């Protein structure tokens, strides 16, 4: 160790001395997806353990559903408002959504020609 240095080097790791003017470095770099989703699930279910397939189907999917649920509800409401979807209430009070007949008919019409024969040439 060099006398007067602000950090000691041990096995390739810099260990800052307390009180040194060293910028704060995060303990871990930001984790790429789906790491946050996996950790989110485990924070809510700390005793959980599973296989790769189980993690994919339950942990990551659960987190994605939780994150997307508010956005999906908002998007469905907008699609209904704009006439793309229609609501169909069921006898038990649940609301089902389906494509509106008007919007569906726009897909079932034959494509309009891009130009007519007089435009060629």
Blockwise average pLDDT, block size 10, the chain, 121 residues: 39 33 49 86 92 90 87 96 96 96 81 62 52
> What does DSSP assign to residue 120?
-
Is residue 75 within 8 Å of 85, Cβ to Cβ?
no
Q: Where are the alpha helices (DSSP H) in 20-109?
A: 35-44, 52-54, 61-81, 101-108
Q: Where are the domains of the chain?
A: 27-110
The pTM of this model reads 0.51
d(CA 121, CA 117): 9
Cβ–Cβ < 8 Å for 98, 77: no
């Amino acid at each position: 160790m060099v006398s007067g240095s602000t950090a000691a080097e041990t096995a390739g790791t810099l260990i800052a001395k307390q009180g040194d003017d060293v910028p704060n470095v995060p303990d871990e770099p930001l984790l790429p997806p789906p790491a946050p989703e996996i950790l989110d699930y485990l924070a809510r279910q700390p005793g959980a353990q599973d296989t790769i397939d189980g993690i994919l189907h339950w942990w990551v999917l659960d987190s994605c559903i939780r994150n997307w649920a508010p956005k999906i509800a908002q998007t469905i409401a907008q699609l209904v408002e704009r006439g793309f979807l229609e609501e169909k209430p069921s006898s038990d009070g649940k609301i089902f959504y389906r494509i509106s007949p008007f919007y569906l008919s726009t897909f079932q019409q034959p494509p309009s020609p891009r130009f007519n024969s007089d435009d060629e040439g």
